[in-house]
Amino acid sequence: MFFVDFPRQIVIGILVYLTEMKKIGIITSGGDSPGMNACLRAVVRTAVHHKIEVIGFYKGYEGLIDNDAVNLTTTSVSGIIQRGGTILKTARSARFMKEEGINSAAKNIKDLGIEGFVIIGGDGSFRGAIELSKKINIPIVGCAGTIDNDLVGTDFTIGYDTAINTVVEAVDKIRDTAESHDRVFVIEVMGRDAGLIALRSAIASGAEALLVPEMKNDIDILLKKIKNWRSSKSSKIIIVAEGDEYGGAYKVGDLIRKTCPEFDVRVTVLGHIQRGGNPTCMERVNASLIGYNAVLALKNGHKNEMVGIINKKICFTPFEKAVKHIETLDRDLLNMIEVLSS
Ligand code: ATP
């Protein structure tokens, strides 16, 4: 029996070896977000565990076009789980928006014998992935890495939790001075197209009001609200998403000064501090889970999908659907702010 089965097992083993993925590529792309390193670490270590070689490309699609590659091993990703930013660096690549750039990237992937690809980035990066998939016939999976939380198919993107915690910490500090001087503070947070950073940080910091791109014609309501603020209200914090229709915090500050000259209005733009810093515990866990499952997804034949977590379960969403900006602002949370900030 042994002599009959032995060669058969060897043949099966060889077939399995030949069909298994042996080399994958990875980039971090678009705006950096805390947790990208944790995700990268998970991808590399899971791949190494499954005897898959990992080639990283520096600066997102730029490095892919220039073949600026590095072999990533278990030790390459040592000591990075707690670090913000990305050790692979990232970029917004104008060259990848052109056919020539995509062709160069595809050629480099083919020449290196890469059989699967992981992209850690936001909606733009996944739009790039859709274009890349038209040029190469290998599976690509995406890990949602953006502070904006604006992707369909995951409850929280990698970077969002840390970013909102950074905002809340900053607003807590600003509130001390707002209360001491009896000032109105208009604080601008990131969010060109989405008010999700503004929404959650406004709730957690106890802000009195917020303006977000998803809501239109709300300045009059805000000004009326300010006029009617009870005199005993010692803190007056207004959170504005940068993409709000009134042009950001400085413009909103000017409008309030004109309408309510009785208030001492100050403006703070939080800017890039929202991208940096050590990822929170939640971020590191989610990023690790997503990175780990990205490699399993490639092994299991997933193609052109984003790995996400919904209700604590890993799920997969085609890139085309993940990048569709459907309105995701929770109206219940908006209504709750109205009640709680009275
Ligand atoms: P963030 O959410 O942090 O802004 P992102 O991934 O959305 O991250 P983008 O700058 O929008 O960041 O996109 C990253 C890169 O993806 C772009 O610089 C570009 O190289 C590529 N990209 C975006 N859209 C396309 C597209 N339609 N075709 C090809 N490449 C694209």
pLDDT digits (tens, 9 = 90+) for 170-201: 999 999 999 999 899 999 999 998 899 999 99
Mutate to test the pocket of ligand 1, among 65, 96, 156, 328 (most ligand atoms within 8 A of CB): 96
* CB 266 near ligand 1, within 6 Å: no
Q: What is residue 6's predicted lDDT score, i.e. its pLDDT?
A: 63
Q: What is residue 188's predicted lDDT score, i.e. its pLDDT?
A: 98
Which residue's CA lies nearest to atom 6 of ligand 1? 122
Q: Kindly give the distance from the C-alpha atom of residue 127 to the centroid of ligand 1, in angstroms, as a whole number.
A: 7
Query: Mean pLDDT per 10-residue run, the chain (342 residues)?
Result: 63 67 97 98 98 98 98 98 98 98 98 98 98 97 96 96 98 95 95 93 95 87 82 83 94 94 95 96 98 98 97 97 83 90 82
Evaluate whether residue 331 is within a structural domain: no
Evaluate whether residue 329 is within a structural domain: no
The answer to whether residues 184 and 195 touch, using CB atoms and an 8 Å cutoff, is no
Q: What is residue 3's predicted lDDT score, i.e. its pLDDT?
A: 53
Q: Quick one: 86 and 148 in the same domain?
A: yes
The answer to whether residues 244 and 213 touch, using CB atoms and an 8 Å cutoff, is yes
Mutate to test the pocket of ligand 1, among 102, 127, 274 (most ligand atoms within 8 A of CB): 127
C-alpha 200: how far from chain center: 15
Q: Quick one: 153 and 293 in the same domain?
A: yes
Which residue's CA lies nearest to atom 24 of ligand 1? 124
Q: Quick one: 32 and 73 in the same domain?
A: yes
Nearest of 207, 166, 165 to residue 187 by alpha carbon = 207
- What number does the ligand 1 atom closest to the CA of 94 have? 20
Q: What is residue 184's predicted lDDT score, i.e. its pLDDT?
A: 94
Q: pLDDT (tens digit, 9 = 90+) per residue, 122-180?
A: 999 999 999 999 999 999 999 999 999 999 999 999 999 999 999 999 999 999 999 99
Kindly report the CATH number assigned to the domain that includes residue 96.
3.40.50.450
Is residue 148 annotated as a catalytic residue, yes or no?
yes
Mutate to test the pocket of ligand 1, among 28, 97, 120, 274 (most ligand atoms within 8 A of CB): 97
Evaluate whether residue 250 is within a structural domain: yes
Distance in angstroms (rounded) separating the CA atoms of residues 12 and 197: 52
Assign 3-class secondary structure to 195-207: CHHHHHHHHHHCC
C-alpha pair distances (Å), 81 with each of 48, 117, 254, 331: 17, 21, 42, 35
Domain with 186 in it: 161-275
* Structure-token match 């001491």, residue found: 180
Residue of 148, 150, 161, 244 marked catalytic: 148
Q: What is residue 341's predicted lDDT score, i.e. its pLDDT?
A: 85
Evaluate whether residue 334 is within a structural domain: no
Evaluate whether residue 327 is within a structural domain: no
Q: Quick one: 110 and 194 in the same domain?
A: no
Contacts of residue 20, Cβ cutoff 8 Å, sequence gap at least 6: 299
* CB 96 near ligand 1, within 6 Å: yes
Q: What is residue 19's predicted lDDT score, i.e. its pLDDT?
A: 74
Kindly report the CATH number assigned to the domain that includes residue 239.
3.40.50.460
Q: Kindly give the distance from the C-alpha atom of residue 298 to the centroid of ligand 1, in angstroms, as a whole number.
A: 22
Q: Quick one: 209 and 153 in the same domain?
A: no
The rounded percent of the chain whose pLDDT value lies above 90 is 81
Q: Quick one: 17 and 75 in the same domain?
A: yes
Among 214, 247, 275, give the residue marking a domain's end: 275
Residue 48, H or E segment: helix 36-49
Q: Quick one: 217 and 270 in the same domain?
A: yes
- Total domains in the chain come to 2
Q: Kindly give the distance from the C-alpha atom of residue 126 to the centroid of ligand 1, in angstroms, as a whole number.
A: 7
Q: Quick one: 123 and 259 in the same domain?
A: no
* CB 157 near ligand 1, within 6 Å: no
Contacts of residue 39, Cβ cutoff 8 Å, sequence gap at least 6: 120, 143, 145, 158, 287, 288, 290, 291, 294
Nearest of 142, 113, 127 to residue 297 by alpha carbon = 142
Nearest of 340, 334, 330 to residue 149 by alpha carbon = 330
Q: Quick one: 63 and 184 in the same domain?
A: no
DSSP of 14-45 = HHHHHHS--EEEEEE-SS--TTHHHHHHHHHH
